[in-house]
A and B are shown apart, each in its own frame.
Chain A
Amino acid sequence: MHSVNFLDLFQGITTLISSPPTILFGRLGLILLGMVLLYLGKKGVLEALLMIPMGLGMIAVNAGVLFLDPVTADQIVSGAAVNGDPVVAQHLVEQAASGKMPGGLFMAPMVEKSDNLMYLMQVDFLQPVYTFAFSNGLIACFVFMGIGVLLDVGFVIARPFLCMFIALCAELGTVVTFPIAIALGLTNGEAASIAMVGGADGPMVLFTSLTLAKHMFVPITVVAYLYLGLTYGGYPYLIRLLVPAKLRGLKMPARAPVKVTSDEKLAFSVVGCAVLCLLFPSAAPLFLSLFIGVAVRESGLKYFIAVIDGPLLYGATLFLGLLLGVLCEASTILDPKVLILLVLGILALLISAVGGLLGGYAAYFFSGRKINPVIGIAGVSCVPSTAKVAQKEVFKVNAASIILPEALGASICGVITSAIFTGIYITLIPLIGK
């Protein structure tokens, strides 16, 4: 009878013990972080729709590590993009052949060759979702369609200058973070991707990083979504810090009773989508996704609205959270650049918020002290969280002050300006070098 090593029965523990100390503590830390995210999601501190699948995915991928069989390990090693260091590449080949290569049965994000991908799609359960829906940006586009269906562009059309001005001011972080990131040693592509966190739109960050910095898209996107979850909790303090209570309670001027018609909204969406796609073809999938959502909403296509607003948006959000969690494997996340990304991500969001509030102040002064400056925070986008945060803060000071329509307008404009900045970065960076 063969003797059986007890630890071989529990490979999750064996791989943990046999891994280098950085990976060991990284895995344990990420399991713990997954639990914290799940808890904070459940408590409503962070976005539950994303954090619960993401937290659980993070726990499972870092706990469920096993020694891959030589065939699967070889498919991963030979299918991945060529490693620059031949010594490391040789070591991986030997490790794979000996059956001692650690890995999970979730997915292999770095594999690019089609034959190897076909093999892995029959082994790893999330590989088909990752290959066919995540790495090509489809999930980001689905989320954007859902956002489009939820948006009422009438708020933007009713006060276009105010909304666009505030949204542009609130892109300050997207612009300022880029040179800071370059100065900290990131490449142009990485810098542009992390700067997009200032636009506060998860799908944009995902799309930009997949296009410009694919090797770093996991930590960049995870940082983005973590911080976007935190805006709901952090921005109220920033508003209270930068806007005195007297101004926060300012009542907006009375609104016009005649509304923008759905025909006008639809026609504007059609012209806007065409012009933006002509200007920024590389971001055309995002514009199409956003405006098809708007067009469906304004055309009153109830069945389409039900599909996009329900299964498509929430299905995409579920798999987005789950895949982001599963991508948070210790070996991927433990990159020295992640610390820089953490600092730059929060900086981008902070600068954007300050820029938005400065825009709010400018609107307040230019309008003859009629516009409530708190609207500025809504320009940071992150629809509709920032608009709700703005209204909540105003409501605490003056229950009779309603700023939600204008705040939503600024927030929606924020989505459009973020998409424009995505287009600018995606167009410019390949020209100046990634």
Chain B
Amino acid sequence: MTPAIKASARHWVFGTMIALAGVAINRVLATGLEDRAHAVLAAAGQLIALGGLFVILLGIRRRLRLANADAPPPVSS
């Protein structure tokens, strides 16, 4: 496994876990609460879940950057 893929794999695992934790907060924890607390926790859960997806995207971006370090220089557009 190359360092680039290794780094990317970590992001995939953590990102998915964070996203699922966000879903759990939104769909499980928040439902047991009253009005205001429910709204705050539900919104927080959504943000955390979407944040998890961003962690995965960061991992892919990191892999691309590491892979690009070995690639020939880019062609100007």
Contact = CB atoms under 8 A, between A and B. Distances in A.
Interface in B49-67: 49-50, 52-54, 56-58, 60-61, 64-65, 67
B74 A254 contact: yes
Contacts of A258: 64, 67-68, 71
A272 B26 CA distance: 16
Interface in B21-37: 22-23, 26-27
Contact of A257 (B27, B46, B56, B75): B75
Contacts of A402: 77
B60 to A, nearest CB: 5
A254 to B, nearest CB: 4
Contacts of B53: 268, 271-272, 275
A260 B60 contact: yes
B77 A275 contact: no
20 contacts: A157-B61, A158-B64, A160-B58, A160-B61, A161-B54, A164-B54, A254-B77, A255-B74, A256-B68, A256-B71, A258-B67, A258-B71, A260-B64, A268-B57, A268-B60, A271-B19, A272-B53, A275-B19, A275-B20, A278-B27
B26 to A, nearest CB: 6
Interface string A239-257: 0000000000001101111
A122 to B, nearest CB: 44
Contacts of B58: 160
A130 B60 CA distance: 43
Contacts of A160: 54, 57-58, 61
A271 B72 CA distance: 32
Nearest to B59: A264
Nearest to B46: A279
A401 B76 CA distance: 10
A157 B23 contact: no
Nearest 9 pairs of A and B residues by beta carbon: A160-B57, A254-B74, A278-B23, A258-B67, A275-B19, A256-B68, A402-B77, A254-B76, A257-B71
Interface of B: 12, 15-16, 19-20, 22-23, 26-27, 45-46, 49-50, 52-54, 56-58, 60-61, 64-65, 67-68, 71-72, 74-77
A267 interface: yes
B12 to A, nearest CB: 7
Contacts of B57: 157, 160, 268
Contacts of B68: 256-258
A267 B9 CA distance: 12
A255 B77 contact: yes
B49 A279 contact: yes
Interface in A284-327: none
A403 to B, nearest CB: 9
A264 B67 contact: no
Given A268-B57, A275-B19, A275-B53, A256 B77 contact: no
Which among B19, B20, B77 has the highest number of chain A CB atoms within 10 Å?
B77
Nearest to A158: B64
A278 B21 CA distance: 11
Nearest to A275: B19
A252 B46 CA distance: 33
Contacts of B76: 254
Contact of B49 (A164, A264, A275): A275
B77 A252 contact: yes
A252 B64 CA distance: 18
B23 A256 contact: no
Contacts of B52: 275
Given A160-B57, A256-B65, A258-B68, 6 more contacts: A161-B54, A271-B15, A271-B16, A278-B27, A279-B23, A401-B77
Nearest to B63: A264
Contact of A279 (B12, B26, B65): B26
Which among B22, B23, B45, B72 has the highest number of chain A CB atoms within 10 Å?
B23
Given A271-B16, A278-B23, A279-B27, A257 B72 contact: yes
B27 to A, nearest CB: 6
A251 B75 CA distance: 13
A197 B65 CA distance: 38
Contacts of A161: 54
A252 B74 CA distance: 13
Which among A252, A255, A279 has the highest number of chain B CB atoms within 10 Å?
A279
